[in-house]
Amino acid sequence: MAEGGAPVTMSDVARLAGVSTATVSRVVNGRYGVSASTIAQVRSAIERLGYESSLVAASLRRTRTNVLGLVTHSFQSYTAEVLKGVMDALTQSGFDLIIYANSDVYGTYSEGWEQRHLTRLSGTLTDGCIVVTPWGEVRTSTPVVVIDPVRDSTVPSVTADNLTGATTAVEHLLGLGHRRIGFIAGRSSLAAAWSREEGYRKALAEAGVPVDPALIGRGDFNPESAAPLARALLERPDRPTAIFAASDGMALKVLEVAKEMGIDVPGDLSVVGFDNIPESALAEPRLTTVDQSMYRLGHEAAHMLKSLVTGEWEGPRQILLPTRLLVRGSTAPVRVATRP
Amino acid sequence: MAEGGAPVTMSDVARLAGVSTATVSRVVNGRYGVSASTIAQVRSAIERLGYESSLVAASLRRTRTNVLGLVTHSFQSYTAEVLKGVMDALTQSGFDLIIYANSDVYGTYSEGWEQRHLTRLSGTLTDGCIVVTPWGEVRTSTPVVVIDPVRDSTVPSVTADNLTGATTAVEHLLGLGHRRIGFIAGRSSLAAAWSREEGYRKALAEAGVPVDPALIGRGDFNPESAAPLARALLERPDRPTAIFAASDGMALKVLEVAKEMGIDVPGDLSVVGFDNIPESALAEPRLTTVDQSMYRLGHEAAHMLKSLVTGEWEGPRQILLPTRLLVRGSTAPVRVATRP
DNA sequence: CCGGAAAACGTAACCGATAACGATTGCAAT
DNA sequence: ATTGCAATCGTTATCGGTTACGTTTTCCGG
């Protein structure tokens, strides 16, 4: 290794090879119009100096950069899954990936982060971007695919089928005999949160169970927001026999609160989450949840963005991916009615 | 949202505000020498147009960009932990983070990836870079901190105390009465792999147990590489009663092979891993392993890089972080000797 | 009312590369 | 020996900002 001095630029190569920078550029990009001997000269100079072209300078002038961007507000465990899916979709595609994360108030949702990140990247650096779970709308001059968009968004997006997933989850609880089913909602501006609530209402409606507004708590997907809501639900005299939380993070908080309050899960309370984050399989009891494959979300989003950039996208601009109910240890048949 | 046309540039702002781009630049960067009224004009124009400065263009001319880079060859679950640590260390620090990943042969170690990624970023885009588990040496013109460097590297680095960790792991096995302890090594060019092997040898030496070369298999940290090695070890007539694998990925493979061969873990065979990846807690039986906090590795690396960039680093350039043995279900006392 | 310094602002070079265009060269056809 | 057409290569403008430097304006005290 060498903590080498100034970075070697294209003009360094040009000088050593005795040609102009234009020629070096042509060689680097394999363009037509350079003689074999000149190519050899330039290549040898590049080799000697250890030159590598600057992504920044190139992207400033070029229209296409063959780099896709991804912006996210934080790195949770599911983010890694998304990234894996994205990378697998990009393998051998010729597109590299740049992920941008800014440093103010990491982990919390500062208004407009997606827009700031996006404009930082999309000016010239990237040909298009994937935005993971934005907090608001996004506008850009290059193609964008959103994973988990906001409600009523018309931006190209990839989402899990939250409606069906939530419906199935609640049907599972109904099938176990539960009738008083609490719900902890996510931030309603997000399409995912809204659909999950719709699924909850739909399943109840189809089973002829009236929706009790008192059993619905309004969280924001942040696990911390769920604790007081769970407590409030469980302290009610007519407390629910089951709780469906709109995210695993919040569901795990429910488990925690129940344990604190001495409520046995799944004996006294059944709990269902949504997402299937890795931690949910580690919980005690293991959490019943709706699996949305983050890997697939990332994979599809990357595939779609790639095609959008090259202009060969034919399919729909809003993709819905199936979900799957994972029945684990946190749900059980309701106890024989103890009501008067 | 709006799929707006061309991105708005600084000269657009200048034109609307009736000033030169130099003045806009001064306002944007809060530099001295602009009257209050002009500042207001420019700000209003920026607001109206929704202008945001291009990271690319700025970084080309500027020396400092306040962006740090990170390069990794793939996104495993531990990568997310590292990233969390990095981001937490960067919160409110004024440094943003850019992660670069290229698309050829994702997941496999193509020679020299770290160097390619690095030069893509370090030309002008970033002030410094973190490299996660490189495959070879790295040279750059900007500061670099390596997580898990190669052997005998002099680059600033952050590493877990692999030697002590491995020693402790083997001592744990010795304490359970094991004497024939197999070892599956990692790729020896990496410092981590080498130290873990040293720890193995050291613990045996201190216990007066001779090292049997036949009990050492040479893997490369890739889980797949461990399967045939484990099989070979376990098919021996004098097979080991315990196996220490240099990584959890490989240790999990050992569990798999043992199950295939009908060998009971931990009854007939004890297994210890290294890393404490999330999956190891999910295995059946749960894997005893040495925890190296990926979060802390990332956190320390980011902290160090930040200080190196600002030139205020005082501490050592090679940091060693403590490890912790997690005793779980895959280890048990050795069965009474069945030897003749 | 004037001189002069400081404040405010514009001009132009520049960062490292690419693209459009023009200039030069070589070789075959006329 | 000219002409014509490619192939080859250099020159220059440009991308979107930043910055050194020069010019103009403002605002004092004398």
Tell me, what's the pLDDT at B90?
93
Cβ–Cβ gap A4/B92 under 8 Å: no
Average pLDDT over residues A249-263: 95
pLDDT the model gives residue B183: 98
Q: Of A87, A92, A138, which is closest to B74 when you measure between CB atoms?
A: A87
CATH dotted code for B67-159+294-321? 3.40.50.2300
pLDDT of B194 reads: 94
* A143 or B340, higher pLDDT: A143
Interatomic CA distance for residues A140 and A118, integer angstroms:
7
Surface of B (200-239) touching A: CB under 8 A:
none
pLDDT value at B44 more than 60: yes
Facing A120 at nearest CB: one of B5, B55, B104: B55
Question: What does pLDDT average to over chain A?
Answer: 89
Segment A128-184, tens digit of pLDDT: 999 988 777 877 888 999 998 888 888 999 999 999 999 999 999 999 999 999 999
In A, minimum Cα distance to B96 occurs at: A102
Task: Give the C-alpha distances (Å, rounded to integers) separating A229 from A218, A219, A235, B153, B193.
Answer: 7, 7, 10, 52, 48
Contact A52 B88 (CB under 8 A): no
The pLDDT value recorded for residue B164 is 97
Q: Is the pLDDT of residue B338 over 70?
A: no
Average pLDDT, rounded, for chain B: 90
Sheet architecture: strand order including B242-245: B216-218, B181-185, B242-245, B270-275, B288-291, B324-326
Residue-level length of chain B: 340
Q: Looking at chain A, which residues constitute the CATH 1.10.260.40 domain(s)?
A: 10-53
Average pLDDT over residues B169-191: 94
Q: How confident is the model at residue A24 (pLDDT cuts 50, 70, 90)?
A: very high
Specify whether domain B10-53 bears CATH 1.10.150.120.
no
Q: Which residues of B touch A77 (CB under 8 A)?
A: 77, 80, 278
Looking at residue B75, its pLDDT comes to 85
Token couple for B132: 């996660």
- Is the CB of residue A112 less than 8 Å from the CB of residue B114? no
Confirm or reject contact between B189 and chain A (CB < 8 A).
no
Q: Name the amino acid, one letter, at B205.
A: A
Other CB atoms within a 10 A radius of the CB of residue B298 amount to: 29
Amino acid at site B336:
V
Element holding A126 (H helix, E strand)? none
On whether any CB of chain B is under 8 Å from the CB of A79, the answer is: yes
Instruction: Give the model's pLDDT for residue A114.
Output: 80
CATH 3.40.50.2300, chain A: domain bounds: 67-159+294-321, 162-292
**Is residue B187 a contact partner of residue B221, using CB atoms and an 8 Å limit?**
yes
Q: Are strands B288-291 and B324-326 parallel, antiparallel or unpaired?
A: antiparallel
Give the whole-angstrom CA distance, residue B134 versus residue B150.
Answer: 7
Check A1 against B137: CB less than 8 A apart. Answer: yes
User: 3-class DSSP state for residue A337?
Assistant: coil
Long-range contacts of A3-9 (CB under 8 A, 24+ apart): A3/B139, A3/B140, A3/B141, A4/B139, A4/B140, A4/B141, A5/B141, A6/B141, A7/A54, A7/B119, A7/B122, A7/B123, A7/B124, A7/B141, A8/A49, A8/A50, A8/A51, A9/A51, A9/A54
Binned at pLDDT 50, 70 and 90, residue B258 comes out as very high
Whether pLDDT at A74 is above 90: no
Say what the pLDDT of residue B339 is.
44
User: What distance separates the 2 farthest-apart alpha carbons in chain A?
Assistant: 96
Class of domain B162-292: alpha beta
Give the lowest-confidence range in A3-17, A149-163, B102-116, B119-133.
B102-116
Task: Note every long-range contact of A109-113, with CB atoms under 8 Å and residues 24 or more positions apart, other chains counting.
Answer: A109/A73, A109/A135, A111/A135, A111/A136, A112/A136, A113/A71, A113/A73
Residue A232: partners with Cβ closer than 8 Å, 6 or more residues away: A217
- Residue B185 pLDDT: 96
Q: Which residues have Cβ atoms closer than 7 angstroms to strand D?
A: A 18-23, 32-35, 37-38, 60-61, 123-124; B 7, 9-11, 21-22, 25-26, 28-29, 31, 51, 53-54, 57-58, 60-63
Q: How deeply is B232 buried, as exposed, middle or buried, from its count of CB atoms within 10 A (0-12, 13-18, 19+)? A: middle
Tell me what the mean pLDDT of segment B145-170 comes to.
92
CA closest to C18 C1', residue: A61
Amino acid at B203: A
User: Stated in angstroms, how far is B23 CA from C6 C1'?
Assistant: 18
DSSP state of B190: B
Among A5-9, A292-296, B93-97, B172-176, which stretch is predicted with the lowest mean pLDDT?
A5-9
DSSP state of A253: H
Residue B158 three-state SS: strand
**B contact residues 260-299, partner A, Cβ 8 Å cutoff:** 278, 281-282
Q: Across residues B45-55, what is the average pLDDT?
A: 91
Contact A265, A291 (CB under 8 A): no
**Better-scored residue on pLDDT, B314 or A234:** A234
A52, A60, A95 ranked by CB distance to B60: nearest: A60
Residue A339 pLDDT? 44
The residue with greater pLDDT, B232 or B105, is B232
